[in-house]
Chains A and B, each alone.
Chain A
């Protein structure tokens, strides 16, 4: 209970404090401290929840079970490392005059606000509150994306606003229909939107209403997750705004949208007794992987390349959870964990590479290995990890997903494997040029005198964790993952 309160209050207080003091040099430390408090609280909460009963707090307002505890743990951990990374990033940007006083303040406050909204979405019992928190997180990220007020940033933010706005309205309508279905079973009281009540009566919900409701929720949260064909906002939004926030956007916000969709899928599966929801997820997931694989090779901007890789992985996750069953769900959760760690780590490296080269275009980033060996290695290893090479943890998760898929849908598995190979080749080619290519110009490397040894730590830490997950998964973590997948797969 206290852990939960700390988890939610720390980022909120942090946001308020940083809105006032956000431009001072020690604001970056405050940002890290607030994130650290939340991460500690999430760990305490996880220890409390795993191997015991889910927590219900403040009446029935908050509900944390194994799945949400796991997601909270990942979210707060990545937020913490991002805060550490962004302190360094900001120091250099401010020194180079790219970040004004006002922008720092807005940036810090919004960073904590996003963290708060994500934690609220993950710990809320009511699906309505979950929706509200998702929307709040979206609005906050829109403001961060448009932070530098350039033409491209505003256009990207506008696209994000309109597409996600429409998407999230569909999700709201879906939530209304869900409420209607539940009201028929348990009567018109405040409990009809609470997950704990809904999960208990899910087999008695009306299938006709739930079909329409799930379709709307799928479109809504699918837009936020970047599922093809509703992914239009994602690459642009990832290419604008300060890079640390892109790491949060890609590593966390997409995951939380997926989490919302999974909660709805559990209800739909219970009500429909047929795997329609799963088939929808597999179909659109496959579409996403294939399209991303085709378009990865055409990217010119480093951050857009990584964004398309996120679309690919979201498709992969959608397939894994769509397949259903304990094993595939376990693989999905492991993949989610690995993707969150590796992708945000990659964005940390990308942020440094972009700062070093002074451009986000991959053609302008050349010869990293000779100039910045540590950075080059973290970018290279991160790329190999995200492409699913052993020994990183994305290999076992993708391997498990594909082997289950070969049993259930062999033709689709063949398509998936081809797409993954294509993606592998196109990404590796691009990254190779950045790391080993000859330096085009004698890059002035304005950030050179400003960097410190600590810069590389967050990215390397993420890689090390992914490596550890892939090589020797601790028994405790395995049990946690199993408990979390039991929430989804029953």
Chain B
């Protein structure tokens, strides 16, 4: 059992690192469909970590939490986002405000900062996977960077969801998961948030269509609109590393 839990712990750290890697993938990826895939993958990693922690600690309710994450974040939300992207014809659109190398460097600095902040606290944790706290914090900060470096509403929401994944990774790693009723509540809130996003995006599109002739459009709506109008797949393709 002891060997087994050592392996389990290493596996959790490895998976947390994969999750951070995916956060960086989200940071630099420009195609929206790929963003959604990365998000779904990151959620899948979260599912595996949660069930692994549940298995190692014998906390039954973590399995339930993992199942909830699976249904909601691996399946339901990505499907909703995919449908949105198709309906709004955004598959080939790109948006980044900051140059990629600069973004990556900033991301690296954030990771160092996160590890520095988390180290003294992680040592205090009684939970099994306390080393993961730094990684989770880094994931949250990288998600935050992604949010401010994107102009398109849907990318901002994916950044928001990625940050939320980071918070959940931290919750699973440093405590043994939040009380179930709280997790349920959070899940419902997140789902409603994504549904609101869907409603918004459609209306932003409508508003942009109907108001284009009159006064200047709002920044958000203009950005929603600019995607399908000016697709530059070739140029962006060559810039993607």
Give B183's nearest chain A residue, CB to CB: A128
**Would you call B167 and A161 a contact (CB within 8 A)?**
no
**A301 touches B (CB below 8 Å):** no
**Would you call B175 and A188 a contact (CB within 8 A)?**
yes
Give A181's nearest chain B residue, CB to CB: B124
> In the bound complex, how far is the Cα of B183 from the Cα of A129, in angstroms?
9
**A154 touches B (CB below 8 Å):** yes
**Would you call A173 and B170 a contact (CB within 8 A)?**
yes
- Chain B proximity of A174: nearest CB distance (Å): 10
**Would you call B126 and A184 a contact (CB within 8 A)?**
yes
CB-CB < 8 A to A192: which residues of B?
Answer: 175, 179
**Would you call A212 and B121 a contact (CB within 8 A)?**
yes
> With contacts A155-B219, A173-B167, A188-B176 known, is A139 near B186, CB below 8 A?
no
**Would you call A146 and B203 a contact (CB within 8 A)?**
yes
**B71 touches A (CB below 8 Å):** no
**Would you call A126 and B179 a contact (CB within 8 A)?**
yes
User: A-side binding surface: helix, strand, loop or mixed?
Assistant: helix
**Would you call B207 and A183 a contact (CB within 8 A)?**
no
**Would you call A155 and B221 a contact (CB within 8 A)?**
yes
Give B57's nearest chain A residue, CB to CB: A188
Give A61's nearest chain B residue, CB to CB: B181
CB-CB < 8 A to A136: which residues of B?
Answer: 185, 189, 192
> With contacts A179-B175, A180-B125, A212-B121 known, is A154 near B200, CB below 8 A?
yes
For chain A, the count of residues having a C-beta within 8 Å of the partner chain is: 43
Q: Chain B, 170-204, contact with A by CB distance < 8 Å: what is the 0/1 string?
A: 11001110110110011011001100110010011
CB-CB < 8 A to B170: which residues of A?
Answer: 173, 176
**B217 touches A (CB below 8 Å):** yes
> With contacts A179-B175, A180-B174 known, is A209 near B203, CB below 8 A?
no
- Chain B proximity of A180: nearest CB distance (Å): 5
> With contacts A139-B196, A154-B221, A193-B182 known, is A169 near B207, CB below 8 A?
no
CB-CB < 8 A to A149: which residues of B?
Answer: 203, 206-207
**A172 touches B (CB below 8 Å):** yes
**Would you call B121 and A208 a contact (CB within 8 A)?**
yes
Residue of B120, B170, B182, B197 contacting most chain A CB atoms (<10 Å)? B182
**B98 touches A (CB below 8 Å):** no
Q: Chain B, 94-119, contact with A by CB distance < 8 Å: what is the 0/1 string?
A: 00000000000000000000000100
Bin chain B's interface residue count. 35 or more
> In the bound complex, how far is the Cα of B163 from the Cα of A165, in angstroms?
10
**B75 touches A (CB below 8 Å):** no
**Would you call B189 and A173 a contact (CB within 8 A)?**
no
**A206 touches B (CB below 8 Å):** yes
**Would you call B185 and A139 a contact (CB within 8 A)?**
no
Give B181's nearest chain A residue, CB to CB: A129
**Would you call B204 and A154 a contact (CB within 8 A)?**
yes
> In the bound complex, how far is the Cα of B181 from the Cα of A157, in angstroms?
28
CB-CB < 8 A to A157: which residues of B?
Answer: 200
> In the bound complex, how far is the Cα of B39 from the Cα of A22, in angstroms?
38
Segment 183-241 of B: residues with Cβ below 8 Å from A: 185-186, 188-189, 192-193, 196-197, 200, 203-204, 206-208, 211, 217-221
Segment 153-204 of A: residues with Cβ below 8 Å from B: 154-155, 157-159, 161-162, 165-166, 169, 172-173, 175-177, 179-180, 183-184, 188, 190, 192-193
Q: Which of B140, B185, B196, B218 contacts A152 (CB 8 A)?
A: B218
> In the bound complex, how far is the Cα of B175 from the Cα of A183, in angstroms?
8
Q: Which of B186, B189, B193, B203 contacts A154 (CB 8 A)?
A: B203
**A16 touches B (CB below 8 Å):** no
Give B171's nearest chain A residue, CB to CB: A176
**Would you call A176 and B175 a contact (CB within 8 A)?**
yes
**Would you call A209 and B189 a contact (CB within 8 A)?**
no
Segment 132-156 of A: residues with Cβ below 8 Å from B: 132-133, 135-136, 139, 142-143, 146, 149-152, 154-155
> In the bound complex, how far is the Cα of B125 from the Cα of A154, in angstroms?
43
> With contacts A132-B185, A136-B189, A139-B196 known, is A176 near B167, CB below 8 A?
yes
- Chain A proximity of B179: nearest CB distance (Å): 5
- Chain B proximity of A106: nearest CB distance (Å): 11
> With contacts A139-B196, A155-B218 known, is A179 near B203, CB below 8 A?
no
CB-CB < 8 A to A206: which residues of B?
Answer: 124
- Chain B proximity of A120: nearest CB distance (Å): 10
**Would you call A180 and B175 a contact (CB within 8 A)?**
yes
**Would you call A184 and B189 a contact (CB within 8 A)?**
no
Q: Chain A, 227-271, contact with B by CB distance < 8 Å: what is the 0/1 string?
A: 000000000000000000000000000000000000000000000
**B156 touches A (CB below 8 Å):** yes
Provide a sorted-by-A list of 19 A–B residue pairs whose CB atoms are within 8 angstroms. Answer: A131-B186, A132-B185, A154-B200, A154-B207, A154-B221, A162-B160, A165-B193, A169-B163, A169-B167, A173-B170, A176-B167, A176-B175, A176-B178, A177-B121, A177-B174, A180-B127, A183-B175, A183-B176, A193-B179
**Chain B residues at the A interface, C-beta cutoff of 8 Å:** 59, 117, 120-121, 124-127, 140, 144, 147, 153, 156, 160, 163-164, 167, 170-171, 174-176, 178-179, 181-182, 185-186, 188-189, 192-193, 196-197, 200, 203-204, 206-208, 211, 217-221
**Chain A residues at the B interface, C-beta cutoff of 8 Å:** 126, 128-129, 131-133, 135-136, 139, 142-143, 146, 149-152, 154-155, 157-159, 161-162, 165-166, 169, 172-173, 175-177, 179-180, 183-184, 188, 190, 192-193, 206, 208-209, 212
Q: A161-B200, A162-B156, A169-B164 are in contact. List 4 more A-B contacts (CB 8 A).
A: A154-B200, A154-B221, A169-B160, A188-B176
**7 closest A-B pairs by CB:** A128-B182, A132-B185, A155-B218, A135-B189, A176-B171, A151-B207, A190-B179
